[in-house]
Structure 1
Amino acid sequence: MSNANRMQGARMLNRRKGWMAVVLCTVVTLLYAQPPQQKDFLSFQKSFKRVGLAFESREEMLRKEFAAKGLTWPAKYMYIRSFKYDSQLEVWVKGDKKEKYRLFKTYKVCALAGGLGPKRYEGDYQVPEGFYYVNEFRPNSSYHLALGVNYPNPSDRILADPVKPGGDIYVHGSCVTVGCIPLTDALIEELYVLAAFTKNEGQDYIPIHVMPVLFKKDKSKELLEKQLAAQPEYKPMAGIMEKVYYYFNTHKQLPTIMINAKGEYMMAQEFTIPKKVIPPKFKENTEPRRSAARTVTFGENDFYPYVNTQPKFPGGLPAFQKFIDQLAAELADFMPEEGAKRLFIDVDFVVDAKGNVVNVKPGSRANNEMNNLIIDRFEAMPAWSPALRQDKAVPMKLVQNIMVEAKPKAAEKAEEEEE
């Protein structure tokens, strides 16, 4: 070969290397490219008996559910997010590119193979982790119906076994798996119909992000941390998945995900994972338990088994019930973090002959802070109309039950708002 030919060959090789570097960092061509949309896609799918029956049984139900949630039907964009350890699969939809995604439904993944960590070779029984898209609609699957996941994607082709990385990964029915994401037949029918409509609306790819855990759940995150301690090489991948998870939760839009020449995922947008909002802890029982400050000594003969008129709170029973409800809301701040979500506290007290509330004694179920707050609030009551016996004001013992319900934790509230 002449020197000129060698130089020309070297230039061509350099061009190819540069081209490969660009492609490896281009999300559209690498992660989400698909063949052009098939004409009359829905009719083609319905030509298969199993899919046709699924449309008959699921389409109208989906329309109604979308309407009930104020969602555009059919969805123009769809995003699937699955969490391996937590066995959940979320479906997010929107009707316009500029809109934020909204959660349509969370499905239960009914079986799991393998453990935390990416799939790296054929026969490892691992469910892949990473950023994928639907690359196939399989109407005649051996597992009822199936949506293909484009494993191995370009990242996997670099990092997984170069000869036998594995393949044939699907979200499918029949509730069995050796490395896929299985749903029940009823749920895959619903998901398949929804995805078919979205594809027919023009979405060239439906992204599927398969994540190790639901990062906002403390127990799941703790399990992942243990796995990362034993498998530190897995940490960068888990870190980018967590970053993408929180980016989406924050913006309800998908970030641009790229792959570098090492096969590592990168996120184009600048983003810092928000600091975890720690639910405020209920106060510990540090304040000393005290007796009522306003204590009066009564003799055995000061109380009567019967009176002509019962004591009356200013404003009557409705006003007293309002007072109890407000007190119960305050007491909820002192409910224990663990244990019962509801607590019933009996409060003994006396309305004396002048209508003053004295000798307030909360039951033993109240902790120190509850005890002290109850005494403070009862003693700050306005004067009652005292009990009357033969037109004479007399003291009377009363017992009031207060039902205290624990407040939802901040994390639970955030989860409700997110959904």
Structure 2
Amino acid sequence: MILLAAIVLGVLAYTKVMARVGSGSPPADAPLEQQADLIRVHKSERSMVLLRGDTPLSTYRISLGSAADEGPKQREGDEKTPEGRYEIDWRNPRSMAHLSLHISYPAPADRQNAELKGYSPGGNIMIHGLPNGWGFLQGIHRLWDWTDGCIAVTDEEMRDIWARVPDHTPIEIAP
């Protein structure tokens, strides 16, 4: 039991240190013809597709919120991934995870639905890589849904997404 507690404390300390280190320099923007004008997420398939017009540019296997199969996000802390149409409204090159693109959740309807029920709708939903310092996990992170409602990919995939997705790109998240 003491060994397990020491391991957990070591993991937490490592994660906190790596969160302060950040993700490093983000990649340069991809050429215009390789940039997406739509992101489509299929929660049930655990996939995300970058599109330019009707042409798929890249497809990624993803991890979602740990309660993603229980419907759309409704309130802060429910660990669900939102459903609906949003946009990428800002980016964080120094996030706790390897790079992150912010999804404009909550939309006004999301906010109104949560507030009618007496809840905060939550927010800070991102597309991101693995927590800084945990990139060695690579694709193994896809074996389970582990985020608080975000969309997670590998660090290498996140660098590709960062370069191909300009701010204000629409994102459609379907069940």
Q: TM-score, normalised by structure 2?
A: 0.70
**2:63 is equivalent to residue 113 of structure 1:** no
Conserved? CA contact 1:87–1:108, under 8 Å: yes
**2:140 is equivalent to residue 184 of structure 1:** no
Aligned partner of 1:363 in structure 2 is: none
Looking at structure 1, the residues matched to 170 and 64 of structure 2 have their Cα atoms a distance apart, in angstroms, of 22
The Cα shift of 1:112 comes to: 4.4
Looking at structure 1, the residues matched to 64 and 72 of structure 2 have their Cα atoms a distance apart, in angstroms, of 17
* 2:66 partner letter: A
Q: Using a 3 Å threshold, how does the CA distance of structure 1 residues 152 and 105 change in structure 2: closer, same or farther?
A: same
The Cα shift of 1:187 comes to: 0.6
The Cα shift of 1:165 comes to: 1.2
The Cα shift of 1:135 comes to: 1.3
Q: Using a 3 Å threshold, how does the CA distance of structure 1 residues 128 and 49 change in structure 2: closer, same or farther?
A: closer
Q: Percent identity?
A: 30
Match of 2:24 among 42, 50, 54: 50
Aligned partner of 1:384 in structure 2 is: none
**Larger relative contact order, structure 1 or 2 (CA cutoff 8 Å, min sep 6):** 2
Q: What whole-Å deviation, never above 9, does each CA across 1:285-309 have from its counterpart, x for those lacking one?
A: xxxxxxxxxxxxxxxxxxxxxxxxx
Aligned partner of 2:124 in structure 1 is: 168
**2:160 is equivalent to residue 208 of structure 1:** no
Aligned partner of 1:73 in structure 2 is: 33
The Cα shift of 1:130 comes to: 0.9
**2:43 is equivalent to residue 84 of structure 1:** yes
The Cα shift of 1:111 comes to: 4.7
Q: What whole-Å deviation, never above 9, does each CA across 1:289-345 have from its counterpart, x for those lacking one?
A: xxxxxxxxxxxxxxxxxxxxxxxxxxxxxxxxxxxxxxxxxxxxxxxxxxxxxxxxx
Looking at structure 1, the residues matched to 65 and 78 of structure 2 have their Cα atoms a distance apart, in angstroms, of 13
Aligned partner of 1:142 in structure 2 is: 96
Structure 2 gaps of 5+ residues are 1-21, 131-140
* 1:83 partner letter: H
Looking at structure 1, the residues matched to 23 and 111 of structure 2 have their Cα atoms a distance apart, in angstroms, of 36
The alignment yields a C-alpha RMSD, in angstroms, of 2.3
Q: Paired residues, what number?
A: 137
Conserved? CA contact 1:109–1:182, under 8 Å: yes
Looking at structure 2, the residues matched to 141 and 89 of structure 1 have their Cα atoms a distance apart, in angstroms, of 21
The Cα shift of 1:132 comes to: 0.6
Structure 1 gaps of 5+ residues are 1-47, 64-71, 94-99, 200-204, 213-419
Q: SS of the counterpart of 2:45?
A: coil
Looking at structure 1, the residues matched to 23 and 153 of structure 2 have their Cα atoms a distance apart, in angstroms, of 20
Looking at structure 2, the residues matched to 185 and 144 of structure 1 have their Cα atoms a distance apart, in angstroms, of 6
Conserved? CA contact 1:119–1:160, under 8 Å: no
Q: SS of the counterpart of 1:189?
A: helix
Q: SS of the counterpart of 2:112?
A: helix
The Cα shift of 1:50 comes to: 2.1
Aligned partner of 1:104 in structure 2 is: 57
* 1:144 partner letter: H
Looking at structure 2, the residues matched to 112 and 49 of structure 1 have their Cα atoms a distance apart, in angstroms, of 22
